[in-house]
Amino acid sequence: MAKAVKKQALGRGLSALLKDPANDIKSVEDAGADKVVGNIIELELDAIEINPFQPRSNFNEETLKELATSIKELGVIQPITVRKLDFNKYQLISGERRLRASKLAGLTTVPAYIRLANDNESLVMALVENIQRHDLDPIEIAISYQRLIDEISLTQEELSERVGKKRSTITNYLRLLKLDPIIQTGMRDGFISMGHGRALINIENADAQSEIYHKVVTQNLSVRETEALVKKYHESLKPKTAKSNSSNFEVEDTDKKVFTDFFGAKVDVKVTGNGKGKITIPFHSEEDFNRILKLIHN
C-alpha cells in the first residue's frame, strides 16, 4: 500500500514541475522528457481537452454515474492517456469515460500517461486503444476505420496490420456504412445487431431495405430469421417461368367414368406436367384383351 501512495505522490510532484514554463517539454529530446513521457502524472482536468478523433460518440449516462460512484470510493484505477499539445495543455487519446466520470465525481485532477504524438499518430492510438478497451458499437468502429483510410491514406491491408484485425473483418465493418442512416442509427441504439446489419446490406433497394428493417425491429426477429427474410426477398425478384395454361388441366371424374363405361374396365387417367398424361386400360385375359381391341376397332 505504501508503494502505491509513493507512486501517487511522485505523480503529483511531476505535475507541479510541469506548471513551471522552464520545464516545458515539447519533444523526447528535451531535458527531463524521460521523467514525464510514459509516466503517470496527476493532471488538472481543466488542462485536458477532448480528442476530436475519439471513435466513441455515445456515452450511457447511467453507466457514467455508476463509474463516477466507483471513482469516488476507489479513485481512478486505470490512468487515462493524453498527448501534450502545449504548455500545460493536453489532449485526450483514450479514457474519455474515465475523464467524464471523474468530472461527475467532482475530481479536479486525474492520473494520466503522457505521450508526444502528431495528429495522425493520435488518431491511430485513439482508435486502437479504444477498440481494445471498450465495446464500441459497430457503426462507431466502421466510421473510425473509414477515417483512418481517408485521413491517413491507408489501404485496408495496411489498416489491418495497424489495428491487428483481419482484412475481412474490416471489410465487413465498412460495408455497414452503406446501410440507410436510419438503420445505422438503429444499430447504434441497440435495436439490431451487426449480424442483422450484415444481412440487410445485401438488399440494394433502399425502400425494400427499410421495409425489412421495420419488420425485424417490430417483430423482434433474430439474425437467422432476418437472413431468411432477405433470402425470400431475393427469390421474389427472380423471373418466374411461364407456365402453359394446359398445365392446370384436370380430368373430371365424370370424364373418367366415360372411359370406364365404354371399355367395361376401370380406366386410369393421369395428367402430368404441361397438360400431358396417359390413359391406362387394364385387361385380365387374352379374351378380355380381344374384347377391348374390338371396341377400339369399332
Q: Residue 5 has what pLDDT?
A: 36
Q: Residue 94 has what pLDDT?
A: 79
Q: Which of these is catalytic: 29, 44, 62, 96? A: 96
- Contact between 55 and 143 under an 8 Å Cβ cutoff? The reply is yes
- Contact between 105 and 95 under an 8 Å Cβ cutoff? The reply is no
Q: Residue 82 has what pLDDT?
A: 86
Give the residues across from 114 on adjacent strands: 37, 82
Q: Residue 4 has what pLDDT?
A: 39
Q: H or E stretch including 43?
A: strand 40-44
pTM of the model: 0.50
| pLDDT averaged per 10 residues in sequence order, the chain, 298 residues | 38 57 60 63 90 68 88 85 83 86 93 77 68 73 82 83 88 92 88 94 91 94 94 87 56 77 80 77 83 78
62 is catalytic: no
Q: Which one, of 99, 145, 138, 95, lies nearest residue 124 by Cα?
A: 145
Q: Which one, of 90, 96, 110, lies nearest residue 57 by Cα?
A: 96
Q: Residue 96 has what pLDDT?
A: 86
Q: Residue 229 has what pLDDT?
A: 94
Domains along the chain?
2-118 (3.90.1530.30), 192-237 (no CATH), 246-297 (no CATH)
- Contact between 219 and 229 under an 8 Å Cβ cutoff? The reply is no
Q: Residue 296 has what pLDDT?
A: 78
Q: Residue 53 has what pLDDT?
A: 64
